[in-house]
């Protein structure tokens, strides 16, 4: 050695440096993970902080006396016809104004009425149809307040600014305080959010319509994507002869998996809507578009799962006289199914969170009715979030955050299920 | 079993494609402007709750997108109604004609374009000339048309005062021009092009230089920032950045008065009265169009319009007023509600 050191000395000297390098690398990795976790916590934390208040809805107690001729027909039966002709809105507002008999000015009266939800009347109608015994006597009912009062009591409304820049006027603030002092205004669990579809009034809007829309679309996606993907995977693994064609198909499948989802939306618009003339905004079309999008993901996962089954199993089946198809369907497929299932669930989770392709086929739509079939107009969970985040009313902000929390919960559940299934059924050969 | 597995996808495909022939639709489908969307949805919800008809499904596609879908044809797969924050264009009318679509036009109310910035920043008192000069793609110089070279509001102020002798300096600050504007598919953008840009160029005396097309063109060097149809996003950005400006409809301004302030334009503040009287230069009517061919086919369309074009909805005591819709004058309202009996076809040249 030129500088008079032995190999051992050189190695010993470089060893320390190499160790330092390794430690550095370790900390770089650790730092990246910590950074990722920090951002995740900030993201989920801010969404939760914004959204958890939507779990509660402010209600106010009013005392109404509904005369029977507004509900029952001449024979004394509860009648839809009669109820349609009743001015429920006016009834609710009048009942609420009784709390403040000293307000007489027309403008002030109007401001007072604005404190309760403009859907309060329809809520009373619904309560009556559920429980007709409240008709004909003085009854105390809890009805929803307007979104502005709700936001005020949740501390989300700035009050220390001049009156004309505020959503609530001085007198309105005074009335709300009065109600609070009387103890007839309270916050309760927001059941409406989980039992209804969209509404223009934040206090009447819910997520159920979107969840059902998503569910219908997912059923279609699953029913289309899974069989096609498994068939394609079996063909590619067992029947296709290696060659240029197979390579070409394989490259294309991998490419499709990386195509931006909006492209599938455009495809859906051109093929399903314009050519096949399927209805716009239908979850059937949504599911078809999403299945195109998830197909490559599931094919790739299924091929990997099939390939992971040792060839000895197939060879054994074939040598005992099974046909290629028998070997594939009866022996390989059952063993590969946990892997296929995992891939499917992950693909479905991806489809569940997708908005872009649904915009193109008209699923970004305002709907008050909950969809009941494949061709009904429907929206989907992520789309609902998009719609709410675009609404002017402040109260939709917390509702879109809560909807995000629900969507994330669904995704976590699905991904967890995929992990658990893999753990449970995974076979080591 | 095996045979079943093999034909499963084929069965499914054929059932989905052929069993879903569009059966009679009993839900009204509405598309169109995102500015009219909030009003249209409120009416739809009231309509659904107070009648036996289904609540209409309403999509927010932008005025241009809505017209394209609306005029695409007659039949159950095509929408019945489209909203627009500007009148139907002659080109769109031709497309409708070609596809056998005739429409009845209703004006549902008025709106005003807000030119706003953060509440804590200086409130601008400007003219539409300043907006036009700040956002124009090209402006004339002695040597001819040139790409807009104005970088700050101060420079805009000097340019306008230098070009128009009657306009004194208004004292705009030395901050860079950055304005959030709606996308080209939006009717709000069309209204902005005609009310702020074209009229601004005319007042500025640059209209003949830039031409009709050039007057509507916005600069593309980053001073005019195009954002999507999400007006809440604009509000959020204005709240976070004191030097930014944004252009959006009155209803969003009305809901966010505690965060943003509207500039005073040509000496007129953006408020309810100034829109109703059309004193405010950014005031514009809002439209909705119904497909006459569908009137007798889809149940509830006529009733839906009776709900929409009613005093209950549109007047100053109506339920759309709190949502930010500026009502029509009594005369105009009478004109619109008279259309409810015959649903006359509109002609646009």
Arithmetic mean of pLDDT, B201-229: 87
- In terms of domains, do B75 and B155 share one? no
Residues of B in contact with A165 (CB under 8 A): 119, 257-258
- Please tell me the distance in Å from B173's CA to the nearest CA on chain A: 25
- Please tell me the distance in Å from A421's CA to the nearest CA on chain B: 23
CA B310 to chain CA mean position, Å: 22
CA A47 to chain CA mean position, Å: 14
Q: What pLDDT does residue B256 have?
A: 84
Beta strand B264-265 with B245-248: parallel, antiparallel or unpaired?
unpaired
Q: Is B70 a domain residue?
A: yes
Q: Is B96 a domain residue?
A: yes
When the pLDDT of each residue in chain B is averaged and rounded to a whole number, the result is 88
- In terms of domains, do B253 and B320 share one? no
Decide if B172 contacts B130 (C-beta within 8 A). yes
Name which of A224, A280, A387 is nearest B77 (Cβ-Cβ): A280
CA distances from A207 to A144, A196, A400, A428, B281 (A): 18, 6, 10, 43, 41
The residues, any chain, with a CB within 8 Å of residue A312's CB and separated by 6 or more, are: none
Arithmetic mean of pLDDT, B197-212: 89
Q: What is the pLDDT of residues A259-315, one digit of tens each?
A: 999 999 999 999 998 888 888 899 999 999 999 999 999 999 999 999 999 989 989
Q: What pLDDT does residue B22 have?
A: 46
- In terms of domains, do B220 and B91 share one? no
Decide if A202 contacts A402 (C-beta within 8 A). no
Q: Is B1 a domain residue?
A: no
Q: Is B302 a domain residue?
A: yes
| Domain limit, last residue, from B263, B281, B299 | B281
Name which of B2, B25, B257 is nearest A165 (Cβ-Cβ): B257
Instruction: Give per-residue burial for A266-288: e unless 16+ CB within 10 Å, then b.
Output: ebbbeebbeeeebbbbbbbbbbb
pTM for this prediction: 0.82
Q: What pLDDT does residue B7 have?
A: 56
DSSP string covering A310-333: -HHHHHHHHHTT--HHHIIIIIIH
Q: Is B69 a domain residue?
A: yes
Query: What is the spatial distance between Cα A11 and Cα A37, in angstroms, rounded to a whole number?
Result: 38
**Confidence class of residue A70 from pLDDT cuts 50, 70 and 90?**
confident
Arithmetic mean of pLDDT, A336-340: 90
Under an 8 A CB cutoff, do A368 and B322 touch?
no
Which alpha helices (H) appear in A235-361, and where do they start and end?
A: 244-257, 261-268, 283-308, 311-319, 324-326, 333-352, 356-360
Query: What's the number of domains chain B is made of?
Result: 2
- In terms of domains, do B229 and B300 share one? no
Which alpha helices (H) appear in B142-206, and where do they start and end?
A: 153-163, 187-192, 199-204
% of residues, chain A, pLDDT over 90: 53
Decide if A385 contacts A400 (C-beta within 8 A). yes
Of B235, B238, B264, B267, residue with least CA distance to B249 = B235
Q: Which residue has the higher pLDDT, B185 or B292?
A: B292
| Domain limit, last residue, from B258, B281, B304 | B281
| Interchain contact B51–A (C-beta under 8 A) | yes
CATH number at residue B316: 3.40.190.10
| Interchain contact A221–B (C-beta under 8 A) | no
| Type and span of the H or E element at A381 | helix A381-389
- In terms of domains, do B163 and B268 share one? yes
| Interchain contact B81–A (C-beta under 8 A) | no
Query: What is the spatial distance between Cα A427 and Cα B34, in angstroms, rounded to a whole number?
Result: 54
Q: What pLDDT does residue A69 have?
A: 84
**Among A residues 340-369, those touching chain B with beta carbons less than 8 Å apart:** 362, 364-369
| Sign of the CA dihedral with A95 first, then A96, A100, and A104 last | negative
Decide if B201 contacts B215 (C-beta within 8 A). yes
Report whether pLDDT(B61) > 60.
yes
Q: Is B191 a domain residue?
A: yes
Which alpha helices (H) appear in B183-230, and where do they start and end?
A: 187-192, 199-204, 207-216
Decide if B83 contacts B63 (C-beta within 8 A). yes
- In terms of domains, do B297 and B217 share one? no
Q: Is B4 a domain residue?
A: no
Q: What pLDDT does residue A38 have?
A: 96
Report whether pLDDT(A3) > 80.
no
- In terms of domains, do B189 and B255 share one? yes
- In terms of domains, do B217 and B77 share one? no
Arithmetic mean of pLDDT, B315-329: 85
Interface mutation target, options A192, A366, A399, chain B, most CBs of B under 10 Å: A366
Name which of A200, A220, A365 is nearest B57 (Cβ-Cβ): A365
| φ/ψ of residue B137, rounded to 5 | -70, -45
Q: What pLDDT does residue A394 have?
A: 81
Residue of A nearest to B37 (CA): A366
**Confidence class of residue A2 from pLDDT cuts 50, 70 and 90?**
low
| Interchain contact B252–A (C-beta under 8 A) | yes
Residues of A in contact with B35 (CB under 8 A): none
| Domain limit, last residue, from B229, B250, B281 | B281
Q: What is the pLDDT of residues B2-21, one digit of tens each?
A: 555 555 555 555 555 544 44
Q: Is B347 a domain residue?
A: no
Residues of A in contact with B185 (CB under 8 A): none
Arithmetic mean of pLDDT, A128-140: 87
| Interchain contact A318–B (C-beta under 8 A) | no
- In terms of domains, do B159 and B295 share one? no
Arithmetic mean of pLDDT, B239-261: 88
- In terms of domains, do B277 and B262 share one? yes
When the pLDDT of each residue in chain A is averaged and rounded to a whole number, the result is 89
- In terms of domains, do B165 and B75 share one? no
Report whether pLDDT(B23) > 80.
no
Decide if B86 contacts B63 (C-beta within 8 A). yes
How many A×B Cβ pairs under 8 Å? 121
| Sign of the CA dihedral with B151 first, then B155, B159, and B160 last | positive
Query: What is the spatial distance between Cα A74 and Cα B11, in angstroms, rounded to a whole number?
Result: 54
| Interchain contact B25–A (C-beta under 8 A) | yes
Residue of A nearest to B234 (CA): A390
Q: What is the pLDDT of residues B149-204, one digit of tens each?
A: 999 999 999 999 988 888 888 889 999 999 999 888 888 888 999 999 999 999 98
What ipTM goes with this model?
0.80
Q: What is the pLDDT of residues A215-262, one digit of tens each?
A: 999 999 999 999 999 999 999 988 888 889 999 999 999 998 889 999
Q: What is the pLDDT of residues A11-43, one digit of tens each?
A: 888 888 899 999 999 999 999 999 999 999 999
Domain that holds residue B320: 27-110+284-342
**Among A residues 155-214, those touching chain B with beta carbons less than 8 Å apart:** 158, 161, 164-167, 199-201
Report whether pLDDT(A99) > 70.
yes
- In terms of domains, do B194 and B225 share one? yes
> For the domain A208-425, what is the CATH superfamily, name and number?
MetI-like (1.10.3720.10)
Of B321, B287, B303, B252, residue with least CA distance to B42 = B321
């Amino acid at each position: 050695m030129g500088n008079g050191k032995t190999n051992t000395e050189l190695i010993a000297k470089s060893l320390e440096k190499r160790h330092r390098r390794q430690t550095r690398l370790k900390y770089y990795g650790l730092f990246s993970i910590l950074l990722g976790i920090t951002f995740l916590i900030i993201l989920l934390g801010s969404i939760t902080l914004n959204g958890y208040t939507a779990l509660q809805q402010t209600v106010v107690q009013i005392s109404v006396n509904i005369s029977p001729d507004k509900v029952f027909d001449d024979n004394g039966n509860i009648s839809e016809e009669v109820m349609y002709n009743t001015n429920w809105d006016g009834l609710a507002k009048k009942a609420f104004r009784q709390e403040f008999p000293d307000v007489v000015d027309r403008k002030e009266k109007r401001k007072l009425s604005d404190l309760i939800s403009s859907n309060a009347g329809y809520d009373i109608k619904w309560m009556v149809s559920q429980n007709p015994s409240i008709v004909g006597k003085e009854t105390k009912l809890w009805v929803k307040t307007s979104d502005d009062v709700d936001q005020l009591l949740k501390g989300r409304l700035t009050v220390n600014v001049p009156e004309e820049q505020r959503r609530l006027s001085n007198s309105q603030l005074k009335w709300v305080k009065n109600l609070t002092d009387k103890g007839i205004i309270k916050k309760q669990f927001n059941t409406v959010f989980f039992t209804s579809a969209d509404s223009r009034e934040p206090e009447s809007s819910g997520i159920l319509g979107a969840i059902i829309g998503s569910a219908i679309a997912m059923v279609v996606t699953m029913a289309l994507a899974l069989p096609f993907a498994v068939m394609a995977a079996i063909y590619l693994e067992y029947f296709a002869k290696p060659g240029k064609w197979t390579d070409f198909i394989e490259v294309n499948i991998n490419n499709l998996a990386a195509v931006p989802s909006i492209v599938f939306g455009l495809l859906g618009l051109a093929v399903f809507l314009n050519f096949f003339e399927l209805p716009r905004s239908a979850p059937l079309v949504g599911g078809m578009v999403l299945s195109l999008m998830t197909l490559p993901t599931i094919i790739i996962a299924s091929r990997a799962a099939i390939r992971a089954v040792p060839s000895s199993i197939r060879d054994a089946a074939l040598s005992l006289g099974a046909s290629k198809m028998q070997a594939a369907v009866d022996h390989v497929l059952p063993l590969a199914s946990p892997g296929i299932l995992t891939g499917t669930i992950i693909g479905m989770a991806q489809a569940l969170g997708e908005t872009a392709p649904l915009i193109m086929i008209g699923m970004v739509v305002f709907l008050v009715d909950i969809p009941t079939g494949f061709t009904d107009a429907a929206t989907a969970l992520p789309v609902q979030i998009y719609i709410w985040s675009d609404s002017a009313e402040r109260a939709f902000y917390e509702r879109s955050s809560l909807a995000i929390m629900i969507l994330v919960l669904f995704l976590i559940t699905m991904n967890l299920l995929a992990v658990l299934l893999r753990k449970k059924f995974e076979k080591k050969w | 079993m095996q045979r079943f597995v093999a034909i499963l996808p084929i069965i499914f495909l054929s059932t989905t494609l052929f069993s879903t022939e569009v059966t009679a639709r009993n839900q009204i489908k509405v598309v169109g402007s995102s500015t009219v969307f909030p009003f249209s949805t409120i009416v739809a919800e009231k309509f659904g709750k107070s009648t036996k008809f289904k609540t209409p499904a309403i999509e927010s596609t932008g005025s241009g997108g809505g017209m394209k879908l609306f005029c695409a044809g007659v039949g159950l797969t095509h929408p019945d109604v489209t909203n627009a924050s500007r009148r139907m264009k002659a080109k769109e009318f031709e497309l409708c004609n070609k596809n056998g679509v005739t429409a009845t036009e209703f004006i549902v109310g008025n709106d005003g374009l807000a030119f706003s910035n953060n509440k804590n920043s200086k409130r601008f008192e400007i003219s539409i000339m300043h907006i036009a000069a700040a956002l124009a793609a090209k402006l004339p110089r002695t040597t001819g048309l040139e790409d807009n070279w104005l970088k700050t509001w101060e420079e805009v102020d000097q340019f306008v005062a230098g070009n128009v002798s009657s306009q004194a300096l208004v004292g705009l600050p030395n901050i860079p021009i950055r304005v959030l504007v709606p996308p080209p598919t939006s009717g709000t953008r069309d209204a902005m092009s005609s009310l702020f840009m074209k009229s601004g160029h005319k007042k500025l005396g640059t209209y003949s230089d830039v031409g009709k097309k050039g007057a509507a063109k916005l600069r593309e060097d980053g001073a005019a920032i195009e954002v999507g149809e999400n007006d809440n996003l604009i509000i959020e950005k204005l709240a976070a950045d004191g030097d930014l400006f944004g252009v959006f409809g009155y209803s969003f301004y009305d809901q966010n008065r505690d965060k943003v302030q509207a500039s005073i334009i040509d000496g007129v503040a953006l408020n309810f009265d100034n829109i109703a009287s059309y004193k405010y230069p950014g005031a514009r009517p809002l439209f909705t169009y119904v497909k006459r061919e569908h009137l007798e086919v889809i149940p509830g369309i006529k009733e839906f319009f009776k709900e929409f074009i009613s005093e209950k909805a549109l007047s100053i005591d109506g339920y759309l007023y709190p949502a930010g819709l500026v009502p029509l004058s009594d005369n105009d309202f009478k004109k619109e509600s008279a259309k409810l009996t015959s649903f006359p076809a509109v002609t646009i040249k």
